[in-house]
């Protein structure tokens, strides 16, 4: 009887130690849910959701503080994906959906004040004090944060139009011509 209890106790101790060790050794860095949510957010870092960047918004969603329909750049597709992930209801986007844009600096007017550089969350603007600034189009996420700070209003947003490189085959609906 006593040996049986001892064996059970020993077993419990060993397993407990193993579990404790595993929980330290294989500790997951960060909150996996936040990471999953963040992977869905578009990383535009525009703050239109009311949070200072995509990660804070992801954290707020994970904590159940925020609705899932606050990110305009993510659009309805983003809302749907979040709803899928979190098992919540799909809600209409709490803003207008906009096509993807890039910012463009009118280089003739730029006075080189560096204010837009400080505003850009993703370092997409190059320039130096009193020098002309310009936006690296391929890095710009279209967050519009640089528009307001510019004292001479020389930054405008332009919609990225369809071109041969980003063109996509359409969902086959009308165009059903038989060719053979």
Partner 1 sequence: MLQLFKFKGGVKPDSNKTPSVQMPIGIAPLPPLLIVPLHQSIGGKPNPLVEAGERVLKGQLIGGADQWLSSAVHAPTSGTVLAVEERVAAHPSGLPTLSVVIEPDGRDAWIERTPLDYTALEPERVREILRDSGVVGLGGAVFPSHAKLAAAKSVPMEELIINGGECEPFMTCDDILMRERAEGIVRGSGIFRDLLKARRVLVGIEDNKPEAVAAMKAAVEKLGENFEVIAVPTRYPAGGAKQLIRVLTGKEVPASKRSPEMGVQCFNVATAYTAWRAIAHGEPVLSRIVTLTGNVEQPRNWDVLLGTPLRDFVALGKPKSDTDRYLMGGPMMGFEMPGLDAPLVKATNCIIAGSPKLFPPLAPEMPCIRCGACAEVCPHELQPFEMYWFARARNFGKTQEYNIFDCIECGCCSYVCPSHIPLVQYFRFAKSEIWSREREKNMADAAKARFELRNERDEREKAEKAERLARAAAAKAAVKKAPAESVSEVQTGDTSVAAVAAAPLDAEAVKKATIVAAMERARQQRESVQPKNTEGLTVAQRKEIAEIEARRLPLQELSALNADAQSSQRKK
Taking the C-alpha atoms of residue 105 and residue 156, their distance in angstroms, rounded to an integer, is 7
69 binds ligand SF4 (CB under 6 A): no
Instruction: Name the binder of 27 from ligand SF4, partner 1, none, CB < 5-8 A by kind.
Output: none
Q: What's the rounded Cα separation, in Å, for the pair 179 and 8?
A: 76
Print the binding letters for residues 37-66 with partner 1: x by CB under 8 A, - otherwise.
-x--xxxxx-------xx------------
> Which residue number, 27 or 142, has a Cβ lying nearer to ligand SF4?
142
**Phi, psi (degrees; rounded to nearest 5) at 156:** -130, 160
Give the CA angle between residues 147, 151, 154 to the nearest 5°: 55
Say whether 116 sits in a helix, a strand or coil: helix
Is there binding between residue 126 and ligand SF4 (CB under 6 A)?
no
- Measured in Å, how far apart are the chain's first and last C-alpha atoms? 85
Looking at the Cβ atoms of 23 and 109, the one nearer to ligand SF4 is 109
Residue closer to partner 1, measured from CB, 2 or 179: 179
Residues in touch with ligand SF4 (CB under 6 A): 41-42, 44-49, 51, 53-54, 57, 71-74, 103, 119-120, 122, 124-125, 135, 140-146
């Amino acid at each position: 009887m006593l040996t049986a209890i001892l064996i059970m106790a020993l077993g419990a101790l060993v397993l407990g130690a193993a579990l404790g060790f595993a929980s330290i050794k294989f500790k997951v860095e960060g909150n996996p849910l936040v990471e999953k949510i963040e992977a869905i957010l578009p990383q535009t870092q525009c703050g239109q959701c009311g949070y200072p960047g995509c990660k804070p918004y992801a954290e707020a969603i994970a904590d159940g503080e925020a609705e899932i329909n606050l990110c305009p750049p993510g659009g309805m597709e983003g809302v749907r994906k979040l709803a899928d992930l979190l098992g919540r209801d799909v809600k209409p986007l709490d803003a207008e959906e906009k096509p993807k844009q890039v910012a463009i600096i009118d280089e003739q007017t730029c006075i080189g004040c560096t204010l837009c550089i400080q505003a850009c969350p993703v370092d997409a603007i190059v320039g130096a004090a009193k020098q002309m600034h310009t936006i690296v189009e391929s890095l710009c996420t279209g967050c519009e944060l640089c528009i307001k700070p510019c004292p001479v209003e020389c930054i405008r947003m332009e919609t990225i139009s369809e071109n041969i490189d980003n063109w996509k085959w359409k969902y086959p609906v009308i165009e059903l011509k038989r060719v053979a």
